[in-house]
Amino acid sequence: MSERRRVVVTGIGFRSPIGSTLKAMKESLQNGRGGVRIMPEWNGIDHLRTRVAGVCSDVDEKVIPRNYRRSMGRVSILAAIAAMEAVADSGISEEEIGSPSCGVSFGSTAGSSQAMEGFVKDVFSTRSLKGLQSSIYLQFMSHTCAANLAMMFHTKGPVIASCTACVSGSQGVGFGYEAIKEGRALMMLAGGAEEMHFMDAGIFDIMRATSTKYNDRPDLTPRPFDADRDGLVVGEGAGCLVLEEYEHARARGARIYSEVIGYGTNCDGSHLTNPSSDGMAGAITIALKDAGLTAQDIGHVNAHATATDAGDLAEATATNKVFGSSVPVSALKGFTGHTLGACGALESIETILMMNEHFIAASKNLEHPDPQLPPLNHVMGDARDFNFDIGMNNNFAFGGINTSLIFRKA
Whats the size of the chain, residue-wise?
410
The residues that bridge with 216 in the sheet, in sequence order, are none
pLDDT of 132 reads 86
The answer to whether position 3 is within a domain reads no
- The number of distinct structural domains making up the chain is 1
The answer to whether position 234 is within a domain reads yes
Catalytic residue among 143, 338, 343, 378: 338
Mean of per-residue pLDDT scores for the chain: 97
Render pLDDT for 384-402 as a digit per residue (tens, 0 to 9). 999 999 999 999 999 999 9
pLDDT of 2 reads 53
Catalytic residue among 300, 304, 343, 378: 304
Render pLDDT for 125-182 as a digit per residue (tens, 0 to 9). 999 998 888 889 999 999 999 999 999 999 999 999 999 999 999 999 999 999 999 9
The answer to whether position 345 is within a domain reads yes
Mean pLDDT for the stretch of residues 55-75: 96
Whether 376 has a pLDDT exceeding 90, the answer reads yes
166 belongs to the catalytic site: yes
Mean pLDDT for the stretch of residues 255-263: 98
Whether 205 has a pLDDT exceeding 60, the answer reads yes
The answer to whether position 359 is within a domain reads yes
Render pLDDT for 36-53 as a digit per residue (tens, 0 to 9). 999 999 999 999 999 999
The answer to whether position 1 is within a domain reads no
Regarding pTM above 0.95, the answer is yes
DSSP for 143-154 reads THHHHHHHHHHT
DSSP for 285-350 reads HHHHHHHT--GGG--EEEE---S-HHHHHHHHHHHHHHHTT-SEEEETHHHH-B-GGGHHHHHHHH
On the 0-12 / 13-18 / 19+ scale of CB atoms within 10 A, 94 is exposed
The answer to whether position 2 is within a domain reads no
The answer to whether position 242 is within a domain reads yes
What is the residue range of 218's domain?
A: 8-409
Strands (E), 217-276: 237-245, 258-267
Domain containing 201 — which CATH number? 3.40.47.10
Beta-carbon neighbour count of residue 10 at 10 Å? 26
Residue type, 357: E
378 belongs to the catalytic site: no
The answer to whether position 278 is within a domain reads yes
Catalytic residue among 166, 240, 300, 378: 166
- Residue 366, phi then psi, degrees to nearest 5: -90, 100
Render pLDDT for 95-126 as a digit per residue (tens, 0 to 9). 999 999 999 999 999 999 999 999 999 899 99
Nearest alpha carbon to residue 164 among 406, 397, 408, 403 = 397
Whether 333 has a pLDDT exceeding 80, the answer reads yes
**134 vs 187: which has the higher pLDDT:** 187
Whether 1 has a pLDDT exceeding 70, the answer reads no
